[in-house]
Structure 1
Amino acid sequence: MAGTGSTRRTGNLFFAFAPWIVFDVVAGPSTWKYAALSALVASVVLNGRGLRRGHFKILEATGIVFFAVLSVLALVLDHQDLVWLETYAQPLSSGVIAVVCLGSLAFVPFTSQYARESTPRERWDSPAFRHINLVLTSMWSAVFVVTAVLGLVAVHAGSGSDWLNWVIPIALLVIAVRFTERYPDRYVARQRSSQRGSVP
């Protein structure tokens, strides 16, 4: 789980998050329909091959379904019926991904699906592997909960919406990526140091 494994882990996670990032960047009162379609295309292009091969990852599947539903709603509903979606598109997307991340904690922490791609099979059931992915999934869940709340506040804020919708969420994403890169190796190193220190 060290070295290139960390780079591969965050790289694969980036592909999973990319459609959601595309949506948040493009979405606005007059552009959310294009944002949904762009995010759907990105989801299919980046993640569709893995799904066709049976490599089911909850985050990627959720993205395809979510953006497909938004695209269909944009086609079949009148503008008047979509005012709420235009208003809450960004916090809604962050809220959905937060729910998915939190829900995965009860079953398979979503980060473990990516960590397995750079971790030998015999380590998947180890306490260290489970602990690391519980921490990482909890951290990503918190990031998207905060982002969703900031988006809701931005809807009703008279000013500062750029900070709430863009600056702070982007800063949180950067911090989360760095933490994802560094925490597993640091945790393993700390465990090994602790084990060596306990040997009489």
Structure 2
Amino acid sequence: MNPKNLVLAFSPLVLFTAGGYLLGPPLVGWAALASAVLALLILIAGLRNGVKLITAASVVTFGGLAAVALLGGPTGRWFVDVFGSAVAALLIGLMMLVSVGTVPFTEQYARAVVPREHWGSPEFKAINTKISLAWAGVVTGIGLSRLAYGLLVAASGDQVGTLLRLGLSWAVPCVLVVAGLRYTQRLAGDDHDAEQRRGSSPEAVRPPEPRR
């Protein structure tokens, strides 16, 4: 599985977090709307390979946040500005976790590059379960970090130090994402090596015995 596909799936969350941070409360609703539109475009572009769970969840989540901010007045804008990223990340992380009990969401991306005959193999299922659990943890961790930041803002009247703001809003999420990407690459590399070993085993290359 190509980790770039996961990065693309999470791009609406990144756009909303960056847009909300740069634009501030007055325009946070438009940042949410832009993220919903981006998620919708990604969803439409990938329809030939099926509807992706995370992208569909992003369309609904950011569409809902946009409605709250644009229609909810000052209170709605404040809520989305302070807690919007946390709500989005926690909801998407929950969807990822739920998918592990049915079809791990990363299978949808892996099937685009893995031959169909391997889709039902125990190795394919096991690796995608591990990767899906890992990314559910990453995104949930991002949500908890953003929630902690939001609670500090609400409690202190937005008097949160710059280092603490950057740490909870950006540093912790970046560390979690890098760890998730490295874990995904390592598992994908181990799977590739295992396939090569199976392909080069004596049983795999032994010629058929001649008929007697």
Q: Same fold (TM over 0.5)?
A: yes
Cα contact 1:94–1:147 (8 A) shared by 2 = yes
Q: TM-score, normalised by structure 2?
A: 0.79
List per-residue Cα deviations over 1:46-84 (Å, max 9, x = no partner).
222323x47111111111111222222333222234433
Amino acid at match of 1:79: P
- 1:128 corresponds to which residue? 123
List per-residue Cα deviations over 1:110-162 (Å, max 9, x = no partner).
01110000000000010100010010000001111211111122123443121
Aligned counterparts of 2:177 and 2:76: Cα–Cα separation in 1? 32
Higher Cα Rg, which structure = 2
Deviates more, 1:127-136 or 1:32-41: 32-41
- 2:157 corresponds to which residue? none
- 1:177 corresponds to which residue? 181
- 1:153 corresponds to which residue? 148
- 2:85 corresponds to which residue? 90
Cα contact 1:128–1:188 (8 A) shared by 2 = no
Q: TM-score, normalised by structure 1?
A: 0.83
Amino acid at match of 2:166: D
Amino acid at match of 1:140: W
Deviates more, 1:131-140 or 1:152-161: 152-161
- From 69, 93, 97, give the equivalent of 1:74: 69
Higher RCO structure, 1 or 2 (CA under 8 Å, sep 6+): 1
Amino acid at match of 1:189: D
Aligned counterparts of 2:71 and 2:147: Cα–Cα separation in 1? 26
Amino acid at match of 1:168: V
Cα contact 1:16–1:47 (8 A) shared by 2 = no
Amino acid at match of 2:20: A
Cα contact 2:65–2:84 (8 A) shared by 1 = no
- 1:47 corresponds to which residue? 43
- 1:18 corresponds to which residue? 11
- CA drift of 1:192 comes to 7.3
List per-residue Cα deviations over 1:140-196 (Å, max 9, x = no partner).
0111121111112212344312111101211211221222123122145358769x7
- 1:3 corresponds to which residue? none
Cα contact 1:15–1:47 (8 A) shared by 2 = no
Unaligned runs of 5+ in 2: 153-159, 202-212
Deviates more, 1:91-100 or 1:173-182: 173-182
Cα contact 1:33–1:71 (8 A) shared by 2 = yes
Cα contact 1:154–1:164 (8 A) shared by 2 = yes
- Number of residues of Structure 1 aligned to a counterpart in Structure 2: 188
Q: Is 1:168 the equivalent of 2:152?
A: no
